[in-house]
Amino acid sequence: MPEITTAPGTGPTPPDTAGTRTGGELRRAPAGAEPAALTPLQLMRRLDTGPRGLTDAQAEERLARLGENTVPTWKPVSWPRRFLGSLRDPFTTVLLCLGLVSAAVASWGTACVILTLVAVSCALRSGGEHHASRSMAALRELVATTATVQRRADDGAPPQVREIPVDQLVVGDVVRLGPGDLVPADVRLLRASGLTVHQAALTGESAPVPKRAVDAPLDGDGGAAEPPHMCFQGSCVASGSGTALVVATGADTRFAAAYGGRARRRGETAFDRSVHGIAWTLIRFMLLTPPLVLMANAALRGRGLETLPFAVAVAVGLTPEMLPVIVTTALARGAAALARTSGVIVKRLPALHDLGAIDVLCLDKTGTLTQDRPVVVRAVDARGVSDPEVLRWAAVNSFWTIELAELPVPDALDEAVLEASDENGADPLEYDGIAALPFDPVGRLAAAVVRSPGQHGSHTLVVKGAVEDVVARCGRLNLDGQDAELDEAARERLLRFAAAEADSGLRLLAVARCERRPRLGAYTDADVRGLTFLGFVELSDALAPSAADALKVLAGRGVAVKVLTGDHPGTAARACRDLGLEPGEVLTADRLAGVGGPALAAAVERATVVARCTAQDKARIVTALREGGHTTGFLGDGVNDLPALHAADVGICPRGAVPVAREGADVVLAEKDLTAIERAITTGRHASSNIAAYLRITLSSNLGNVIAMLAAGLLLPFLPMLPAQVLVQNLCFDAAQLSLAFDRPSPDSARKPAVLRPRVFLRFITAFGLINAAADLATFAVLAFSARATSGTDTPTMFHAGWFTENLLTQAMVMLLLRTGRRAAEARAAGPVHLAVTALAVVGLLLPVSPLATLLAMSAPPPLYYLLLSVVLALYGAALTIARMRYARRANG
């Protein structure tokens, strides 16, 4: 099966500098002590850098000396290595085993046939994969991520913050990390604020892990597996921010050591379930065939081990050796076309197949269905009366969280709040910032601690966040400058008011504050309690222009859409309604807490919108849907979508997504237009339908041949097909079937999710295999009859020639008639399949009468045979057509 590498970021291998003295020292962090066990100062001295970052010249010199920051084994694999790699494919392995068996019994002909088949299919496959992976690498390059680094033009210049490609980072660089950033290398934190990272790729732990900077070396903690002040490549920032020093890049990172270039394994995807499922079923059959043939021959004809080469040939006849080639070619062609025409970038080839199989697509709202460009509409107090004080406090919170948390990119909500308060003439700088707890997606609020200049007796904690979460932490309420207690009834009123506002589609932030006595220790989430409620900031976020169209076409394509959002249920429901998607009863994630497995799947199955989801909730829901038998896609743009992007069969992100989402997604919609997703799904379905056509055609005719070979082996006194004939016939089939990867599929094939179900296939091929075998047996009868009528013909050679012709002609008919749901009228004349079919028929008719025939131990059958054969073929065509129609009716019914 095609093992298509999913590794992001490809690039040349860093030169191995481990041998050079300075290089070795710098790359492998300081000899003797782990970087984690040193103080920041010691570490900076070791790495010859400072808190202001490297100069451009230093960085350039290190890059030249130490190489790029890419995991070396992610470099493009060379063609010969790919060839060797394709030998490990299960079909190839089985074929090679069969070859060994033949060699062991000195059946050199069969062994050579098998070797040739293996060589041809491996060459084609590795060539195809090589080509595909090169174009995939070019596509991935288009969505490559960058790192925010602090560097100086020269020694005297002030540090500048800039974005550079991740592979240009070097040891000693100072980088900034913010929500949604990938940790670009192994780093030691210099400063951090509310920082949590997902490091599932490294530790398998799904919840974000808190990280903090420590000044002193940690006693005994330096060597711990997860020191809190180290972040590693392969993890990403879930919340908060930090500034950090790069201590290892490229091959020296922990990630490279742990994975050594192996692609990260993800759970079984739709591709594995169907294509791999079918392949393994066949392999089991192939392994069963030789012993069965041996036993049948022994029991019925009293033959011994001498039938082994023949038994092996029968098993070889079953192999769809071109499957990997067809799969790779069909998918790679689809991916290239999508990138060219719709700006959709498929980063992992099998994801294109999975796109075609999606029947449930989960979306997040903010940034996907909406533009994530919020604008403050108004700020109101607890009664809903306009109140500029509320906006002023919200702006103090926004300003100081951005400022103190050193977020590389400010949050869209914070920016909107600051812009609106600017217009009001408010100045957050009238306070001094003390500390910040940046937005935490689980607690759903952000807090800043400030004080009025000169006022040392008191700190003010200013909080803004999701209404339910902020109100739950309030004990008092401020109205017209007067504090009052916030009782249950008042709390209810606030939530009702918020729900009513959200129903009109507005996004809401609740604002609250409280006074605290100054203290030395750090503020934590536990301090955000006993707040005084101030009011709401209401924002509007325009819908994405193409979202409504995208939802409509998805519905038309048989894809159920579910919106999983962190926002308020009212806001989400209204956005859906405005987009023409009926939300029905809106669930909230807290109602699903503790519900798991099938119950969760059933609950989500009925719902269209699930609101107030955390990142983990989104992933849990996607997983439940998958376990419920759906092929799910997830389309999302934020850090809170990352676990769900990984959990889905296909993770998709829109153009404006944060870097981790782009990195974690299998498919990136690089254009603004969301309707591109529909074109991506259609392309996936087309590719799958071509693969399905290949499987249907090759398996039913192979099965038919095998049955016929078995029968002939038992009926005839000579071998029904010689090894060389098996080879030539298989090569002809292979070459012709390759055209199926290039076939233009019928529009029918894009109407429904394209799922290749192994059991449906097996039923199909049994029916059609039997028809094929019947045609073969009829041909034997016709051959026997013509031989007797035309005396003097050498029967075995004539038999071989006659059967060869019939096999190629029936194969050509099968290829024409068993393509997807195609009526004869739809068939266009000059497609690649038609050319292949014509070539196949010409070879089938001419080869046995050409001078080459003697080489293959064939002799031309008498004219009578051709006459009778045309009758057999006509009947065969009629039987195929009828069976095809009945099958199509059953499949649609």
Nearest position to Mg ion, beta carbon = 638
| Nearest distance in Å: CB 730, ligand ATP | 53
**Contact set for ligand ATP, span 483-522 (CB under 6 A):** 509
Place of tokens 């009782």: 487
| Nearest distance in Å: CB 412, ligand ATP | 8
CA atoms of 680 and 754, how far apart (whole Å): 13
Q: Establish if 364 lies at the interface with ligand ATP (CB under 6 A).
A: yes
Q: Which is nearer to ligand ATP, 321 or 637 (CB)?
A: 637
**Contact set for ligand ATP, span 394-423 (CB under 6 A):** 411, 413-414
CA atoms of 671 and 60, how far apart (whole Å): 34
Residue (of 525, 634, 528) closest to 193 by Cα position: 525
Q: Which is nearer to Mg ion, 120 or 237 (CB)?
A: 237
Q: Which is nearer to Mg ion, 66 or 143 (CB)?
A: 143
Q: Which residues 6+ apart lie within 8 Å of 488 measured at CB?
A: none
Q: How many residues bind ligand ATP (CB under 6 A)?
A: 21
Pick the stretch among 307-315, 360-368, 589-597, 855-863 that binds ligand ATP (CB under 6 A).
360-368
Q: Which is nearer to ligand ATP, 509 or 775 (CB)?
A: 509
Encoded tokens for 485: 């207690």
What is the Cα 345 distance to its own chain's centre?
Answer: 11
**Contact set for ligand ATP, span 435-454 (CB under 6 A):** 439, 441, 444-446
Pick the stretch among 192-200, 281-289, 363-371, 622-630 that binds Mg ion (CB under 5 A).
363-371
Q: Establish if 234 lies at the interface with Mg ion (CB under 5 A).
A: no
Q: Establish if 364 lies at the interface with Mg ion (CB under 5 A).
A: yes
CA distances from 679 to 136, 693, 740 (A): 18, 21, 21
Q: Establish if 366 lies at the interface with Mg ion (CB under 5 A).
A: yes
Beta bridge pairs of residue 514: 461
Write the DSSP assignment of 630-662 as a string of letters: --EEEE--SGGGHHHHHHSSEEEE-TT--HHHH
Q: Which of 367, 438, 651, 821 binds Mg ion (CB under 5 A)?
A: 367
Catalytic residue among 89, 173, 364, 541: 364
Q: Which is nearer to ligand ATP, 536 or 803 (CB)?
A: 536
Which of Mg ion, ligand ATP, none does residue 634 bind (CB under 5 to 8 Å by kind)?
A: none
Pick the stretch among 110-118, 351-359, 460-468, 673-681 that binds ligand ATP (CB under 6 A).
460-468
64 burial type by CB count under 10 A (0-12 exposed, 13-18 middle, 19+ buried) = exposed
Q: Which is nearer to Mg ion, 638 or 723 (CB)?
A: 638
Q: Establish if 347 lies at the interface with ligand ATP (CB under 6 A).
A: no
Encoded tokens for 207: 């919840």
CA atoms of 840 and 210, how far apart (whole Å): 65
| Nearest distance in Å: CB 537, ligand ATP | 10
Q: Which of 49, 565, 608, 675 binds ligand ATP (CB under 6 A)?
A: 565
Encoded tokens for 651: 């993770």
Q: What are the residue ranges of helices labelled H in 28-107?
A: 40-46, 56-66, 79-86, 90-104
Encoded tokens for 689: 């339908």
Q: Which is nearer to ligand ATP, 83 or 497 (CB)?
A: 497
HSE-CB of 121 using CA atoms within 13 angstroms: 33
Annotated catalytic residue 364: yes
| Nearest distance in Å: CB 506, ligand ATP | 11
Encoded tokens for 136: 């995939």
| Strand-strand pairing, 375-381 and 507-516 | unpaired
| Nearest distance in Å: CB 448, ligand ATP | 10
Question: How long a stretch of residues is the chain?
Answer: 893
Which of Mg ion, ligand ATP, none does residue 176 bind (CB under 5 to 8 Å by kind)?
A: none
**Contact set for Mg ion, span 588-647 (CB under 5 A):** 637-638
CA atoms of 514 and 880, how far apart (whole Å): 80
Name the DSSP class of 586.
P
Write the DSSP assignment of 764-816 as a string of letters: HHHHHHHHHHHHHHHHHHHHHHHHHHSTT--HHHHHHHHHHHHHHHHHHHHHH
Q: Which is nearer to ligand ATP, 67 or 367 (CB)?
A: 367
Q: Which of 6, 193, 366, 690 binds ligand ATP (CB under 6 A)?
A: 366
Which residues are marked as active site? 364
Q: Which residues bind Mg ion (CB under 5 A)?
A: 364, 366-367, 637-638
Q: Which residues bind ligand ATP (CB under 6 A)?
A: 364-367, 411, 413-414, 439, 441, 444-446, 464-466, 509, 565-567, 638, 640
